[in-house]
């Protein structure tokens, strides 16, 4: 079953970028092998295997990892219920594998950089390793670490695990890393078979902390949520939806997106359109084995579901970082600003030009250049610069926008001691 609202227009990534893949609930079947082959051919730098890696003893953990890593070297695993005593069965009736064996057979790949925490259970890393623009935080809510339900790991309010997660988010923000992406096996809101197991506390905490994207599995299907500023399980609250996701065009900072991709190869589980959680989701499919691929840059996350076996369902969507819609070099050949976008540029002194240039861009320290409509924008370093009569002041100091519709962006050169502006196109 598949259902898709609207269509998405591609968003071009600016600056350096990388790609990674995600799925969970793989098993070890011909469909699984086909999926691994497709992931290996996708150009992804790494792939997340988000739990429930095996469901029987048809093969060993080592053979499973060898086969997967034979297609893509950087396979990073996270524990699911079928890697613990919750669901991996008995020696007489095995229903999964051992996470301890999986982290030996699919170890952390150091080429990705340093991982902090306990790999396979609760860990984070930044990527790229040098000048990173994404932090990945992998956690294990509601996973058993013993032999009974009392041993499941809680991320409820006040727990050390939630505090660890919050600290990982906060330190990424403090370091200026634009994207924070969380991952886990189990779910809370879902329009599939699975109930809320991780608890509302951690789900709401991630939204409160403005995590951009939450990657999940567990339900053997594909579900992309709307952009959510709040949520209540088993009850649809339309006021929590900041972007309905129909066009697949999200803006960073307006809410969190939950992406369930339990499509690794074990088989589909149904979508329940009568589930109250259904209203939180923009699109879903339960018939297609495949994976989700993400291309991440400072300015956007672009994602697509890649069908491999069982259907032709596709989905494409993006999150745009409006604060980084363009990147400025000291002497740019050109500058393009998207309507509605903004950026910030710092200079050491409001009256001093950058060395080697007639003048700075014209923005005082920490001032923000905003383009609410397609207009010609003039930035002047002097408050009393003479500008065209149809220009309107957007910034108390130096930013005016004019009524032209040609979307040109120009900056002002100050010459001598007068107030003459020489508007120069970038």
Give me the helices (H) in 53-109, please.
61-69, 99-105
Q: What is the DSSP string of 388-423?
A: -TT-EE-SSSSEEEES-SS--EEEEEE-TTS--EEE
Give the pLDDT score at 13: 53
Closest CA to 190 of 159, 214, 161: 214
Tokens (6 digits) for 203: 């789900």
As averages over each run of 10 residues, the pLDDT of the chain (426 residues) reads 48 78 97 98 98 93 98 98 93 89 98 98 97 98 94 98 98 97 98 97 98 98 98 98 97 98 95 97 98 97 98 97 57 47 41 32 36 37 34 37 37 36 31
Give the pLDDT score at 324: 61
Give the pLDDT score at 329: 42
What single DSSP character describes residue 360? -
Indicate the pairing of strand 342-344 with strand 2-4.
Answer: unpaired
Q: Are 257 and 17 in contact (CB under 8 A)?
A: no
Give the pLDDT score at 306: 98
Tokens (6 digits) for 56: 């029987």
**pTM for the full predicted model:** 0.76
As a whole number of angstroms, the distance between CA 164 and CA 182 comes to: 13
Contacts of residue 139, defined as CB under 8 A and 6 or more positions apart, other chains included, come to: 122, 155, 161, 165, 182, 183, 184, 202
Q: What counts of helices (H) and strands (E) characterise the chain? A: 5, 25
Q: Which residue has the tokens 């096996």?
A: 185
From residue 182, alpha-carbon distances to 22, 169, 199, 258 in Å are: 12, 9, 15, 10
Contacts of residue 339, defined as CB under 8 A and 6 or more positions apart, other chains included, come to: 371, 372, 373, 374, 407
- Alpha-carbon 403 to chain mean position: 36
**Secondary structure (3-state) at 181:** strand
Give the pLDDT score at 39: 98
| Domain residue limits, the chain | 2-322, 325-426
Task: Domain 2-322: state its class.
Answer: alpha beta
Closest CA to 339 of 373, 297, 305: 373
Q: How many CB atoms lie within 10 A of CB 37?
A: 14
Q: How many CB atoms lie within 10 A of CB 76?
A: 24
Rounded CA Rg of the chain: 24
The residue ranges of DSSP E strands in 192-299, in sequence order, are 213-216, 222-225, 227-228, 241-243, 249-251, 257-261, 281-285, 289-297
Contacts of residue 227, defined as CB under 8 A and 6 or more positions apart, other chains included, come to: 241, 242, 243, 244, 245, 250, 251, 254, 255, 256, 257
With 0-12 / 13-18 / 19 or more C-beta atoms within 10 angstroms meaning exposed / middle / buried, residue 406 is exposed
Give the HSE-up count for residue 114: Cα atoms under 13 Å, Cβ half-sphere: 3
Query: Which contacts of 5-8 are long-range, i.e. CB under 8 A and separated by 24 or more positions?
Result: 5/244, 5/245, 5/246, 5/282, 5/283, 6/246, 6/247, 6/248, 7/247, 7/248, 8/247, 8/248, 8/249, 8/316, 8/317, 8/318
């Amino acid at each position: 079953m598949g259902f898709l609202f609207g269509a998405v227009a591609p968003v071009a990534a600016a600056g350096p970028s990388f790609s990674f893949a995600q799925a969970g609930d793989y098993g070890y079947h011909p469909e699984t092998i086909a999926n691994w082959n497709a992931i290996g051919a996708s150009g992804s730098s790494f792939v997340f295997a988000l739990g429930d890696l095996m469901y029987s003893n048809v093969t060993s953990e080592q053979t499973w990892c060898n086969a997967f890593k034979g297609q893509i070297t950087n396979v990073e695993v996270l524990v699911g219920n079928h890697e613990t005593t919750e669901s991996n069965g008995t020696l007489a009736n095995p229903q999964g594998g051992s996470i301890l064996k999986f982290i030996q057979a699919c170890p952390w790949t150091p080429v990705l950089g340093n991982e902090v925490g306990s790999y396979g259970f609760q860990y984070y890393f930044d990527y790229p390793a040098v000048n990173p623009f994404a932090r990945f935080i992998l956690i294990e809510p509601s996973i058993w670490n013993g032999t009974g339900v009392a041993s499941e790991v809680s991320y409820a309010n006040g727990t050390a695990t939630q505090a660890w997660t919050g600290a990982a988010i906060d330190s990424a923000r403090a370091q200026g890393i634009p994207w924070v992406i969380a991952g886990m096996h189990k779910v809370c809101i879902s329009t599939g078979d699975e109930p809320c197991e991780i608890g509302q506390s951690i789900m709401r905490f991630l939204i409160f902390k403005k995590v951009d994207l939450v990657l999940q599995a567990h339900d053997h299907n594909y579900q992309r949520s709307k952009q959510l500023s709040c949520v209540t399980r088993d009850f649809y609250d339309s006021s929590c939806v900041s972007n309905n996701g129909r066009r697949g065009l999200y803006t960073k900072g307006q809410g969190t997106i939950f992406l369930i991709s339990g499509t690794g190869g074990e088989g589909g589980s149904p979508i329940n359109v009568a589930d109250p959680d259904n209203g939180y989701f923009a699109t879903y499919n339960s018939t297609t084995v495949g994976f989700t691929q993400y291309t991440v840059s400072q300015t956007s996350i672009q994602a697509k579901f890649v069908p491999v076996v069982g259907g032709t369902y596709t989905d494409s969507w993006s999150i745009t970082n409006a604060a980084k819609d363009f990147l400025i070099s000291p002497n740019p050949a050109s500058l393009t600003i998207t309507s509605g976008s903004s950026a910030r540029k710092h200079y050491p002194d409001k009256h001093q030009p950058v060395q080697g240039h007639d003048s700075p861009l014209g923005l005082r320290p920490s001032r923000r250049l905003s383009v609410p409509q397609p207009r010609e924008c003039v930035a002047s370093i002097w408050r009393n610069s003479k500008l065209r009569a149809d220009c309107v002041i957007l910034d108390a100091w130096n930013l005016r926008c004019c009524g032209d519709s040609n979307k040109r962006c120009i900056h002002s050169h100050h010459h001598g001691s007068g107030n003459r502006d020489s508007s120069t196109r970038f």
